[in-house]
């Protein structure tokens, strides 16, 4: 029972990172609307895996992680913007190409679950919102005693479970949206909207 606060603290941090709908959440909604459930679910678990990994670093890294976060913030912001820009352009181009596909031709194979997982891991690793939240956790825990590995594991498990639950809820909502917008024009609108939001976020990061 003494370790339950670590699990609850991890879950609270996982939700704090996951719930704001930023670039990652926008992409997951669009992916859920355009892709099979297994692909979207794999992408959601990719996000949660990074959140769990950052939770471990925040729990046991202490001052070393704090210094790294402070020193690497600007470079990671640029990297995040470039990743977002590439994903935004790819999303919009795929939507346009799918809309222009001649009737009767075979649709392009959907993104494989393993590739969706890897893509969302890459996006989340450099996501500024994720870094800022976990930097705050590092600052809060830096002066505390180094936790046991059991406590750190429970903290990370709580963060992973809470993040995974929220991300899966997002892709479920995206899947419902995809069913409502099943036609070619609806899928085009979903793809362009998703790509446009990510493009705007990328430009904002580069301008900042």
Centroid of chain to Cα 154 = 21
More confident residue, 120 or 194: 120
Structural domain includes residue 136: no
Task: Tell me, yes or no, whether 24 lies in a domain.
Answer: yes
| Tokens linked to 143 | 């002066």
In a domain, 143, yes or no: no
- How many domains in the chain? 1
Domain assignment present for residue 27? The answer is: yes
Judge whether 29 lies within some domain: yes
* Distance between first and last Cα of the chain: 45
Distance between CA atoms of residues 52 and 170, nearest Å: 18
| Domain encompassing residue 64 | 4-100+148-207
* pLDDT per residue as tens digits for the range 158-187: 889 999 999 999 898 888 877 766 666 776
Higher pLDDT, 28 or 189: 28
Q: Which residues of 10-39 are buried (b: 16+ CB within 10 A; e: fewer)?
A: bbebbbbbbeeebbbbbbbbbbbbbbbeeb
Residue range 108-166, pLDDT digits in tens: 666 789 999 998 998 888 776 676 666 666 555 555 555 677 877 888 888 899 999 99
pLDDT in tens, 37-47: 899 999 999 99
> Is residue 173 domain-resident?
yes
């Amino acid at each position: 029972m003494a370790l339950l606060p670590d699990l609850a603290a991890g879950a609270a941090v996982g939700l704090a990172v996951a719930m704001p709908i930023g670039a990652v959440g926008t992409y997951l909604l669009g992916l859920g609307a355009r892709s099979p459930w297994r692909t979207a679910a794999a992408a959601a678990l990719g996000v949660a895996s990074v959140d769990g990994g950052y939770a471990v670093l925040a729990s046991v890294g202490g001052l070393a992680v704090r210094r790294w976060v402070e020193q690497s913030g600007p470079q990671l912001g640029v990297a995040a913007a470039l990743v977002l820009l590439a994903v935004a352009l790819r999303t919009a181009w795929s939507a346009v190409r799918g809309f222009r596909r001649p009737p009767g031709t075979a649709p392009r194979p959907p993104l494989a679950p393993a590739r969706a997982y890897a893509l969302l891991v890459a996006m989340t690793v450099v996501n500024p919102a994720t870094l800022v939240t976990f930097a705050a956790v590092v600052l809060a825990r830096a002066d505390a005693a180094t936790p046991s590995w059991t406590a750190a594991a429970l903290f990370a498990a709580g963060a992973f479970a809470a993040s995974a639950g929220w991300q899966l809820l997002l892709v479920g909502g995206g899947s419902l949206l995809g069913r409502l917008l099943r036609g070619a024009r609806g899928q085009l609108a979903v793809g362009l909207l998703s790509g446009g939001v990510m493009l705007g976020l990328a430009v904002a990061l580069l301008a900042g």
